[in-house]
Structure 1
Amino acid sequence: MMESKKTKNLFLNALLLVVVVGLLWWAPENLDGYKIQILNLIAIYSILGLSLNLIYGFTGMFSLGTAGFMCIGAYVSSLLILPEMQKDMIFILEPLNPILYGAHAPFVVAVLAGGVAAAIAGLIIGIPVLRLGGDYLGIATLGFAEIIRVVANNIPTITNGALGLKGIPAYANLWWNYGWMFFTLYVMYRLVNSNFGNALKAIRDDELAAKAMGINTFKYRVISFTVGSFFAGIGGALMASLLTTIDPKMFMVIMTYNVLMVVVAGGLGSLSGSVIGAVVVTVLLEWLRFVENPITLGSFEIPGVPGMRMVIFALSLIMIILYRPEGVMGNKELSWEGLFGLGKGGKDHE
């Protein structure tokens, strides 16, 4: 019976993968650039949501440092894929550091380098900061993200200062973004469903009890924070290549809040919830743009209100928090049994 169920799930997973590949093949020829951009953003926000969910949803560490790790990944990756001619055109106020001028790598290596750089930063900041807990940890990581942004704004020989980097090669297409998304999802799934993941959830639920059981809570928290930082750097690297231009203002605290909204809307402690949250948040943010433009109803014209999109979006999130605080999925996962079992529900991490 169990073997039959496993075979059925494997077949359905393979079928889903074929459908996704087919859609990725179909989309570029049949959808306009705006819709393609939304699909790309969904994939990147899924990666970022999964990275923060590992730290916050599965380990219980309230971190607000995502934007800082994205910034590191974005700049490292961009400097490695920018051609020398483009570097000459960008760095006009002060020349680029000679070591970085000749540095070049293929896109996949550059993205990995951005993730590794973010992970190293996460390890360095995590060792002293993760001894804090609760709101104190959130404040400390928020301060770290702001420090990274300010530093990026003031080292023109590396980051070009406030001018940022422009003309970044647009390698981050649907195939790359969704490939990285599925890779992230696979790694996270294997982590949270292993003994390592069980230790993280034990720390989240009751850290004192986890210590009493012999779990080295500090070590597990540092590893979780480092892995989450790695994938935040990956997301930042992909975002930079997708937008083809970055500057320090991109990585302000609002970026962290957007990722946090993805996690909260989808469900803390749910991998599939992070993907669903990325879809909801990205589509809602884009769809609501119409309220900022003039609307004509017959002979009446309602003027657009700048900023109204974020007001409505914030109110929508407040409604989610009030009436479904656990998010769309809670701590459950989508499963084939849940989809076709008529009320059996999804797989619960608990």
Structure 2
Amino acid sequence: MSAAVMTIDKKKKTILTVCASALALAFIAAADVFFDNFTLRVFNLCAIYIVLALSLNLLNGFTGIFSLGHAGFMAIGAYVSALLTMGPAQKEMNFYLAPIIRPLAGVQIPFLPALLLAGFAAALFAFLIGLPVLRLHDDYLAIASLGFAEIIRVVITNLQRVTNGALGLKGLPKYSTTYVVWGCAILAIVFMVALINSAFGSSLKAIRDNEIAAEAMGINVAKVKTISFIMSGFMAGIGGALLGHLMQTIDPRMFVFGLTYNILLIVVLGGNGSITGSVIASIVVTVCMEMLRFLDGPLDFLFVKTNGLPGLRMVVFSLLLMIVVIYRQRGLMGTNEFSWDYFAKIGLVPKLKNRKTGGR
């Protein structure tokens, strides 16, 4: 018997992809011009969360490593980039309780090398922490990585002459423009697609599905997991640096477990092991978090009036998340990815081509 599969030929897929990419770039350019400051800030925050969600999904979704230490990598990236890009005068204004150490006082380099160094610094710490932590499994690994993030936050709080302690750093240069953050998001997506479709990506998924079977097939499990951890740390460091330069202020309280929880929420909602899901969920969650912000203020719903309930927004958002998880346990996309064939199947893309597969 033979089966007919409805599909679009490669040439049409290329044309559709080019057109969709052009429309996306045009929308980004239009947003930079026409959006007001607040809307543009939320729009750019979506791009940063795409980078962070992909970095965590690389571990949780594609490698099967349950890590909760991303806030630590983000903190390292944010502080490294901030200290390298701030001018001497701005550093002097921030470090008024205790002067910054001399080697850092006069250092100021362009944003791009500072951004890369921020990623490499986070990757270095990922390598150092990964050597002992990746020997653990499941909940033990998650707890150990969470402990690492908390240690980083405490160290940053106490390094007064390096990080300015609990006061944090203010007046960071606003390098996280629309084109920078969305350029990084696009690069992160392209990198993840290329990685997952490579032989190394197949090794990651093999380890995720069955670590013992993957090792029996000749995959160096420890090496692959370490490389994955390092790449994830690099991306998280980049995301942390972008976040710092978008907010133009950083302090240790930004990088608590709640930040990792927000990223984990995006990954779970979008679907563990789905690049498309992480991208969609990053945008949906970021926009919804801002749309529901009115719930924290005074409310007047006919017979119900409140003077303001801080945190109600998170309660409502958590309830909505629970509903989604209950009825869609694998997330919005599961492990599926974007496909033009799907749009053709539901009739949004015309002119299909029948391809027969199968044999007898």
The two structures have a TM-score, normalised by structure 2, of 0.92
- From 22, 25, 48, the counterpart of 1:18: 22
Larger Rg: 2
Alignment of 1:271-282 (within 5 A): 271-282=275-286
In structure 1, the residue matched to 2:140 is 136
Q: Does 1:335 align with 2:339?
A: yes
CA distance in 2: counterparts of 1:82 and 1:13, whole angstroms: 40
In structure 2, the residue matched to 1:88 is 92
In structure 2, the residue matched to 1:54 is 58
Alignment of 1:38-77 (within 5 A): 38-77=42-81
Q: Which runs of 5+ in 2 are unaligned?
A: 1-7, 349-360
Alignment of 1:168-207 (within 5 A): 168-207=172-211
CA positional deviation for 1:220: 0.4
CA distance in 2: counterparts of 1:9 and 1:174, whole angstroms: 28
CA positional deviation for 1:297: 5.2
Seq. identity, %: 49
Q: Does 1:120 align with 2:129?
A: no
CA distance in 1: counterparts of 2:53 and 2:347, whole angstroms: 27
Residues 6-15 or 219-228, more deviating:
6-15
Q: Could you say if the C-alpha distance between residues 6 and 162 of structure 1 is closer, same or farther in structure 2, counting changes exceeding 3 Å?
A: same
The two structures have a TM-score, normalised by structure 1, of 0.94
Q: Does 1:229 align with 2:230?
A: no
CA distance in 2: counterparts of 1:128 and 1:93, whole angstroms: 37
Q: Which has the higher contact order (CA 8 A, sep 6+)?
A: 2
Native 8 Å contact 2:87 2:107 kept in 1: no
Paired residues, number: 344
CA offsets 1:188-229 (integer angstroms, 9 cap, x no match): 111111110000000000001111111110100000000000
Native 8 Å contact 2:77 2:238 kept in 1: yes
Q: Does 1:28 align with 2:32?
A: yes
- From 9, 14, 31, the counterpart of 2:13: 9
Q: Does 1:218 align with 2:227?
A: no
The residue type paired with residue 123 of structure 2 is A
CA distance in 2: counterparts of 1:316 and 1:19, whole angstroms: 31
CA positional deviation for 1:301: 4.7
Q: Does 1:265 align with 2:269?
A: yes
The residue type paired with residue 34 of structure 1 is F
Q: Does 1:163 align with 2:155?
A: no
Q: Could you say if the C-alpha distance between residues 134 and 15 of structure 1 is closer, same or farther in structure 2, counting changes exceeding 3 Å?
A: same
The residue type paired with residue 199 of structure 2 is N
CA positional deviation for 1:299: 9.3
Residues 95-104 or 156-165, more deviating:
95-104
Q: Which runs of 5+ in 1 are unaligned?
A: 345-350
- From 256, 278, 288, the counterpart of 1:252: 256
In structure 2, the residue matched to 1:348 is none
